[in-house]
Structure 1
């Protein structure tokens, strides 16, 4: 199929409104199904190589040199790949590259991104939203829906058609090294409600959502980027817990699912067969038993949980035969395309199987408005991606997430401008300036963070209360606080009134005894807003509104929270 034919097909249907709901059947039974006509027109004019190329979305980077962009152009022109998943870079560079790549592609490219907490997960100069675990602490799901909607607007502005989000793994293992705060939490119902809200917001802007990591990566203790993790549960447990959010999201019309690199003996009898290569898991469970009709993506095929199993090309073919539609981040697209073409020519893959996936991909492109592709406008791009609404949504989310879990003897709120002597002690490797400045504006506070252990003990005898701020540089890390910090907090709380504010995951408190700590606030992230709002909570200017998205201990289980408001 030549470029002119694609343009003519697109122009015929160019009158379709961007806001039209293409999933709704046309009320006129004699009218032409525009989606089917567009898809069939493309498919029937493709060579076998062009069809097979549609199965691949290749990794692209907007911060690399001309060698990389030349490599991508070659894959588009000579191998007709179907799409790109962008990773690190800059939004202006990405927009310019996308325009150049789209201009040379016979069929419009599907552009994807991992934007779990917004474009900032991959791109500089863009807005960040809270991690899913922070959002899991919020009781008002409409906040998550609005965030999903704004992320959808940001994606659409940058020419992105699919966001590989939300993560719907239920993080029942606090030592999970790869999911952690990427999960909405430990409760399958809360995870599902948050995922539905995010998905509805994202897809309302015409950007496709993709739930991951099927059939469930929440209770693993190894990283699938490095090895093949095992999920040891029975199929009954998996059906009841891990698959629960998928079933609900399918009923809500989510566009895509990403299949993980997992060993799941409860679902697949062959020992060590990764889930994305399992016909039983991908076809029998996902497509047939759960009746999912949308696009099925592999997780990145360069990850060691996949790459260690088969050679490049062979693994792509096996993934396609298992039932996946789109092969992400292949290590060798030319070799993989050749392998699948060979399998087709020898009847190892049928025309029915090939057309099934290719037409699903083309239909998804139609639903993402790629039937009327327009180049991305680069002017004012950065301003459009960093509007006030982005900061306002982040602030609203943090304001609704921060959680009070302890307030013995009504130690909170503190009184502003009181005569009490209050000390501040900073722990952790993150910055504390915003928090310290915020509490200093409200009362007299002495920073004792730089004192030696010996001098600290003597100095603190002078103070009525101690505010301990645990500030973690990387809020994604879920490991417990260091033994040194743990022992210091426990010892201080035996002899002093301590208010502990944790600018990190609630998991950081797992090994810490909070028995003698009077006040504990979990702020989840060490952002400017989290620091300022936590200071407001400590002094009673606002209420802590969140609840724990996952357990810290039996004393502080998931959904636990308390209020500073005292009932008469």
Structure 2
């Protein structure tokens, strides 16, 4: 006993001397006030109240009234000074927090085990990435930002101490309990990440906790179930396991958690856990390393400690060893009794007890418990699941994705026009979000089979196979390994095909792969979360830079810190409004306006897309294909774009032809179509036609010339229900037109009277002529030309003329129930009559697409002709066409592009976009607009002509431009 008292005396003497040498993380900036508050509390405490401060009892917010009564008893009878909240919900925890604080004489220190955020214990709260994922990030400022945000979440819920970060250096891949919870195997990387996390969280006013001292990273045992043994020398421990702690102490970490480990080189008694060892907890941690913060045991319910002795004896031993706080004690009444006896017999001195109590009270002052306020229950969900959490999470994931191998340079994927891509899934979890995002960029087919030989046969037609290895993302302890079957299949597929393997699991899974020789592309995405899947798919297609580094080594193949760089190809990224300075709350106004459209039957269904600064931040489908409400609109469904065809099909080809001086703007109609020589249109220029200033009629109802003037029936000399040599032009289902009528269309245009006055008049006719000029020049049909020159390489695989040749009928939105010409529901056949008479391929109409593809083309324009790593058009060409040439004649149009109205009474736009902006609208209820000044691309697609084109509610209400106003209002000033 005398020896124990002498050791305690030495303990106190050393701490006094060490205090002058080390950072005191519990010292407040107003230290004098802190000391006064601590003295005022401790001087009025009984011995029982002092002992009570040593305990941090576990409290649940998902248990019954009996449990609440137990915690109440702990506080009122045993003066327990600290609680650690476990499973439950934030709402219930907030209520119980306030209840328990009200009961306590001294404000309670609330602890929490939230290594990746509150989600580690609670439901309905935000889930951030695990440490292994963060270990792959090069920029430690992001980790600091992460720590700060977790601190803010904790503070919002009344939590004062978060038991994080884990600073174990995970050298052992078979470690069953650390693994993904570690920043990796590099002591330096672990240290820097842990310091950054700590700095961030403590900036938010929440105490950090470095665990598990002296180091749990190189063991194959779990201290929850047994006492792990670390047979390392002191030198080895000092150079690796203790390395992060030394630097974290200098950085001011507030607390340390002592682990339940057996380390013979530090503690001679092999059965004594390090958490109960005076040699480790006092001599090493506090004397040799000079740590002055709170020392807290790991959970005393864990077998690594609980198997040592009785719960009360363990608690006393932990205090005598030098711990200040007992985490999850199992016998508080027994421990209080035993400690009081220890005080009587001198085993425990009042000075020793008061030393820890003062530290605990100083910590309470540090987190503001001297001015305790109850947790506000208002807006709790919103505060703990804020848009900025998603923005931060995205940054963390984007910066963690790691390329380990890129033999053919297929990451990012280029030359989409040459690719036939398949996706093969491995692992026992789903990759749905990964596939869906891949398909935003290109046609990617999901290929599977239970038989390897059959699977390989199915893959024969593909020249790139993306394999996603998906494992559970529920928690970091889930299994991450390939099955033997998957390892065989992986090698066999890679032997025959160009493969990109993307691992949505621990990088340690790659230790099983015998050879990487035939795997051309290899990424590690670390987790199988929705965001990891989506962002990794975006990385593969060049939407973002990739700069992650491997936090652990994979045999001799890939060393720790290895990571190849890849750069964005300026393809669309898919993100959130707040990521581009917009408000998701304001954008909810789009949903409200679309709801009005649907309720008032302005259209059966709608697609709306919004992008800013190259990031799609809103992409939704609403309603149904028709008012019968049988088939919901999907983002992949395609709409008849009507006149958007002009700027999405004809115009890019015209711009290209102008660059090549095939269709120069100064050229007259007779130059590009010699047959128009000596006509009344021969001197009309390309520039005038594109500006709708060429005195052309608005349109000609060609179809009426093929009908009986009395009955309105289609004449048999022009139409047949069956295709033949004579009737080759397919107008609609079971309706074919005489091929000779094509020449008649151009004759009608050629012979048509010109408008008398030379002023602005919107006209389709010029685009009939451009179609012919382009086809005559390049000797290919317009649909083939634009597909080969633009759509294939853009990845606009949901854009096409003649959609029934490419898409399932169920993917094509119907337009009108035609009762005047084709006499059928038009689905997959162009609504515009003139384009239909051209076989569905018109220069002015005929194109079908979804909103995502329309946006790609508009973004290409916005990026001055560049997209996906390819320069489609010269920047000066885009600028040339996005310009008004007849503004002095009150013509608002650019060349092909519509521009903002000059007359305020005209509603071409919301009136809220810049003069640099451009776009177009379509008769079927479509609209797209891009604004270089704000960086916004807006796409609205609908079938407002259903059930017929008399349905003009959408047009009268100006709902498309009202939605444009909402988008503009969403920009955060």
TM-score tier by shorter-chain length is over 0.9
Deviation at 1:398, TM superposition (A): 0.3
**How many residues are aligned here?**
541
Partner of 1:136: 135
- Helix, strand or coil: the match of 1:257? strand
Distance 2:33 2:415 in 1: 65
Distance 2:445 2:410 in 1: 19
- Helix, strand or coil: the match of 1:530? helix
Contact 1:159 1:376 survives alignment (8 Å)? yes
Deviation at 1:514, TM superposition (A): 1.5
Distance 1:391 1:483 in 2: 37
Partner of 1:503: 504
**Residues 299-354 of structure 1: per-residue CA shift (max 9 Å, x gap):** 00000001111111011011111110000001111111111111112211111111
Contact 1:62 1:86 survives alignment (8 Å)? yes
Counterpart of 2:537 (choices 535, 538, 554) is: 535
Partner of 1:525: 527
Superposition pairs of residues 423-462 of structure 1, within 5 angstroms:
423-462=422-461
Deviation at 1:516, TM superposition (A): 1.0
Gap runs ≥5 in structure 1: 1-20, 27-31
Partner of 1:90: 89
- Helix, strand or coil: the match of 1:242? coil
Partner of 2:144: 145
Deviation at 1:480, TM superposition (A): 2.6
Deviates more, 1:182-191 or 1:524-533: 524-533
Deviates more, 1:128-137 or 1:411-420: 411-420
- Helix, strand or coil: the match of 1:525? coil
- Helix, strand or coil: the match of 1:541? coil
Superposition pairs of residues 33-182 of structure 1, within 5 angstroms:
33-182=32-181
Contact 2:547 2:566 survives alignment (8 Å)? no
Partner of 1:377: 376
Deviation at 1:543, TM superposition (A): 2.3
Distance 1:242 1:213 in 2: 10
- Helix, strand or coil: the match of 1:449? coil
**Residues 403-426 of structure 1: per-residue CA shift (max 9 Å, x gap):** 000011223322364242211101
**Residues 142-196 of structure 1: per-residue CA shift (max 9 Å, x gap):** 0000011111111001000000000000000011000001000000011000000
Distance 2:152 2:309 in 1: 39
Deviates more, 1:285-294 or 1:434-443: 434-443
Contact 2:61 2:96 survives alignment (8 Å)? yes
Distance 2:425 2:260 in 1: 40
Deviates more, 1:452-461 or 1:409-418: 409-418
Distance 1:132 1:345 in 2: 46
**Residues 355-397 of structure 1: per-residue CA shift (max 9 Å, x gap):** 1011111111111111110111101111111111111111000
- Helix, strand or coil: the match of 1:418? helix
Partner of 1:227: 226
Deviates more, 1:341-350 or 1:295-304: 341-350
Partner of 2:624: none
Distance 1:565 1:24 in 2: 46
Distance 2:227 2:480 in 1: 21
Distance 2:450 2:310 in 1: 57
Contact 2:55 2:81 survives alignment (8 Å)? yes
Contact 2:542 2:567 survives alignment (8 Å)? no
Distance 2:29 2:372 in 1: 23
Distance 2:528 2:106 in 1: 44
Contact 2:26 2:254 survives alignment (8 Å)? no
Partner of 2:766: none
Matched, 1:559 2:561: yes
Between the two structures, name the one with larger relative contact order (CA 8 Å, sep ≥ 6): 1
Matched, 1:200 2:199: yes
Distance 1:67 1:236 in 2: 50
- Call closer, same or farther: CA 1:22–1:265 in 2, change over 3 Å: closer
Distance 1:133 1:356 in 2: 37
Deviation at 1:541, TM superposition (A): 2.0
Partner of 1:15: none
Partner of 1:23: 27
- Call closer, same or farther: CA 1:311–1:214 in 2, change over 3 Å: same
- Helix, strand or coil: the match of 2:512? coil
- Call closer, same or farther: CA 1:432–1:416 in 2, change over 3 Å: farther
Partner of 1:336: 335
Deviation at 1:510, TM superposition (A): 0.7
- Helix, strand or coil: the match of 2:408? helix
Contact 1:165 1:210 survives alignment (8 Å)? yes
Deviation at 1:506, TM superposition (A): 0.6
Partner of 1:489: 490
Q: What is the TM-score with the length of structure 2 in the denominator?
A: 0.55
Partner of 1:294: 293
Gap runs ≥5 in structure 2: 1-24, 569-973
Deviation at 1:450, TM superposition (A): 4.4
Superposition pairs of residues 336-415 of structure 1, within 5 angstroms:
336-415=335-414
Distance 2:479 2:184 in 1: 13
Partner of 1:12: none
Deviates more, 1:285-294 or 1:425-434: 425-434
Contact 1:405 1:560 survives alignment (8 Å)? yes
Distance 1:156 1:127 in 2: 14
Distance 2:437 2:300 in 1: 47
Contact 2:471 2:480 survives alignment (8 Å)? no
Distance 2:61 2:199 in 1: 29
Distance 2:395 2:566 in 1: 20
Distance 1:47 1:412 in 2: 67
Deviation at 1:63, TM superposition (A): 0.5
Distance 1:214 1:351 in 2: 27
Distance 1:320 1:36 in 2: 23
Distance 2:502 2:465 in 1: 11
Distance 1:95 1:565 in 2: 45
Distance 1:464 1:205 in 2: 51
Runs of 4+ in 1 over 3 A off after TM superposition: 21-26
Distance 2:444 2:347 in 1: 74
- Helix, strand or coil: the match of 2:280? helix
Contact 1:410 1:564 survives alignment (8 Å)? no
Contact 2:546 2:567 survives alignment (8 Å)? no
Contact 2:118 2:125 survives alignment (8 Å)? yes
**Residues 510-544 of structure 1: per-residue CA shift (max 9 Å, x gap):** 11121210000100111122111111221122222
Matched, 1:210 2:214: no
Deviation at 1:294, TM superposition (A): 0.5
Partner of 1:264: 263
CA RMSD of aligned residues (A): 1.5
Contact 2:28 2:34 survives alignment (8 Å)? no
Distance 1:499 1:292 in 2: 48
**Residues 23-61 of structure 1: per-residue CA shift (max 9 Å, x gap):** 3565xxxxx921111111111111111110110000111
Deviation at 1:471, TM superposition (A): 0.8
**Residues 194-245 of structure 1: per-residue CA shift (max 9 Å, x gap):** 0000000000011000100000000000100000001111001101111111
Distance 1:335 1:44 in 2: 25
Structure with bigger gyration radius:
2
Deviation at 1:554, TM superposition (A): 1.1
